[in-house]
């Protein structure tokens, strides 16, 4: 009986941490920003399957959002309309620039009349940028993951559903990069992406979610109006948040639909403050 009770208690703790059912719901008037990377099948034994949301799971999430009355915006649209947004406003974001954003995600965005912002690394091919954060992440898994070609990027832009944002030239670690190099990475990435996309590139994503006050100032200096972080949560409509430090809800490839729904409800997983 003791072991049975202990097993039940551990299962209850696991469930509470995974789904955060106890967290107070955040009112629907506060917009959500969702963070994705890839929409693709999992790979057996891969380190980064958490970054891979299966296409059928992504479709289920879009279908749920549509069914529940959520309206889709790009990040720039979200901020431009911040004070007048309808209830249930959501922005979908993708980091890095993976080819499956076109081949697997776009048709589903079209099916559910959704929009998204893709934060592009300019020099993105044959790079295992995970090592810039943790040297032991040297498997080459992300370097081998197909990235968007320039032609594929143009196909995304032509859809009229995609905002292009910047994710630096080479996916640098801002914490360990000298300020002059950081300024060049941010300014040159924005210039090149604007020339390539034909869009005003005014939104930025901090690589790895690593940043400090200096990086916020640099993002503003080079012309960005908004920037997204990897800080879990949902920003309040009022008082207005810093548009260069917007929170996001991380969508993991290991999450089921209940986890997704609970994250939309409360913004965070588990015991995080």
Instruction: Report the 10 Å Cβ neighbour count for 185.
Output: 24
3-class SS of residue 194 = helix
Mean pLDDT throughout 166-193?
Answer: 97
CA-to-CA distance for 137 and 128, rounded, in angstroms?
8
Report whether pLDDT(123) > 80.
yes
Provide, rounded to the nearest whole percent, the portion of the chain with pLDDT above 90.
80
Mean pLDDT throughout 6-19?
Answer: 54
Report whether pLDDT(165) > 80.
yes
CA dihedral 20, 63, 249, 254 (to 10 degrees): 70
pLDDT in tens, 20-57: 655 688 999 999 999 999 999 999 999 999 999 999 99
Q: Which of 146, 162, 143 is nearest to 154 (CA)?
A: 162
- pLDDT in the model for residue 109: 98
Mean pLDDT throughout 158-183?
Answer: 97
51: Cα separation from own chain's centroid: 10
Confidence band (pLDDT; 50, 70, 90) for 126? confident
Q: Token pair 């693709």 is at which residue?
A: 40
| 205 DSSP β-pair partners | 228
- pLDDT in the model for residue 125: 87
- pLDDT in the model for residue 12: 47
Sign of CA dihedral 161, 105, 227, 256: positive
Q: Token pair 């431009």 is at which residue?
A: 80
pLDDT in tens, 230-273: 999 999 999 999 999 999 999 999 999 999 999 999 887 765 65
| Between residues 140 and 128, the one the model is more confident about | 140
CA-to-CA distance for 119 and 96, rounded, in angstroms?
6
Sign of CA dihedral 132, 136, 37, 126: positive
Report whether pLDDT(7) > 70.
no
99: Cα separation from own chain's centroid: 15
Beta strand extents in the chain (DSSP E only): 32-36, 38-39, 52-53, 71-73, 89-96, 116-120, 162-166, 203-205, 226-232, 246-250
Report whether pLDDT(149) > 60.
yes
What CATH fold (topology level) applies to the domain 16-266?
TIM Barrel (3.20.20)
Provide, rounded to the nearest whole percent, the portion of the chain with pLDDT above 70.
86
DSSP 161: -
Domain definitions of the chain by residue range: 16-266
């Amino acid at each position: 009986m003791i072991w049975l009770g202990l097993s039940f208690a551990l299962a209850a703790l696991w469930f509470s941490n995974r789904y955060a059912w106890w967290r107070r719901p955040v009112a629907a008037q506060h917009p959500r920003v969702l963070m994705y990377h890839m929409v693709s099948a999992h790979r057996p034994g891969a380190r980064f399957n958490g970054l891979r949301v299966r296409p059928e799971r992504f479709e289920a999430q879009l279908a749920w959002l549509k069914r529940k009355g959520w309206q889709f915006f790009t990040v720039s649209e979200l901020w431009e309309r911040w004070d007048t947004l309808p209830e249930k406003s959501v922005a979908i974001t993708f980091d890095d620039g993976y080819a499956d954003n076109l081949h697997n995600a776009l048709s589903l965005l079209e099916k559910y009349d959704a929009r998204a912002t893709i934060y592009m690394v300019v020099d993105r091919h044959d790079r295992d940028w995970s090592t810039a954060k943790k040297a032991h992440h040297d498997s080459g898994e992300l370097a081998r993951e197909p990235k968007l070609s320039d032609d594929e990027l143009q196909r995304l832009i032509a859809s009229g559903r995609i905002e292009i944002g910047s994710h630096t030239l080479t996916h640098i670690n801002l914490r360990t990069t000298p300020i002059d190099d950081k300024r060049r990475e941010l300014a040159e990435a924005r210039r090149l992406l604007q020339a390539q996309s034909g869009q005003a590139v005014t939104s930025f994503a901090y690589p790895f979610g690593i940043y400090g006050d200096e990086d916020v100032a640099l993002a503003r200096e080079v012309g960005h109006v908004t920037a997204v972080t990897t800080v879990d949560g949902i920003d309040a409509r009022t008082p207005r948040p810093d548009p260069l430090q917007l929170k996001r809800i991380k969508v993991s490839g290991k999450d089921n639909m209940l986890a997704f729904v609970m994250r939309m409800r409360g913004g965070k997983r588990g015991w995080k403050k």
